[in-house]
Amino acid sequence: MIVDMEAIATAYLDTVVTGVAVSGETPRNTSQSWVKVTQIGTRVVGNADVDHFHAYHIQFDCYASEGGPVGQVEAFDLYQDVRAALVNLPGTTTDAHISTVRFTAALRLPDEAFEPPRQRYVLDAHIYAGAYDGVSS
Partner 1 sequence: MAFLPNPRFLQQLEVEDGTVQALEEAAEEVAAGANELRHSFYREPGAVLVRNESSRVAANVYVVNTDPGGHMDEWGSVNNEAYAPLRTAVSNAGLEFEESPKQS
Binding region for partner 1 (CB under 8 A): 26, 30, 36, 38, 40-41, 43, 57, 59, 61, 104-107, 109, 111-114, 118, 122, 124
Residue 92 C-beta: closest distance to partner 1, Å: 26
Closest CB to partner 1 among residues 105, 135: 105
Q: Which is nearer to partner 1, 15 or 103 (CB)?
A: 103
- At residue 2, the 3 state secondary structure works out as coil
Q: Least CB distance from residue 60 to partner 1, whole Å?
A: 11
The least CB distance from residue 94 to partner 1, in Å, is: 28
Report how far residue 124's alpha carbon sits from residue 105's, in angstroms, rounded to the nearest whole number.
5
Q: How far is the CB of 105 from partner 1 (least distance, A)?
A: 3
Indicate the residue among 30 and 93 with the shorter CB distance to partner 1.
30
Query: Terminus-to-terminus CA distance in the chain, angstroms?
Result: 16
Measured CA to CA, the distance from residue 94 to residue 112 in angstroms comes to 38
Nearest 5°: phi and psi at 92?
-110, 125
Closer CB to partner 1, residue 41 or residue 91? 41
Could you give the CA distance from residue 59 to residue 104 in angstroms, rounded to a whole number?
10
Integer Cα distance of 93 and 78 in angstroms: 24
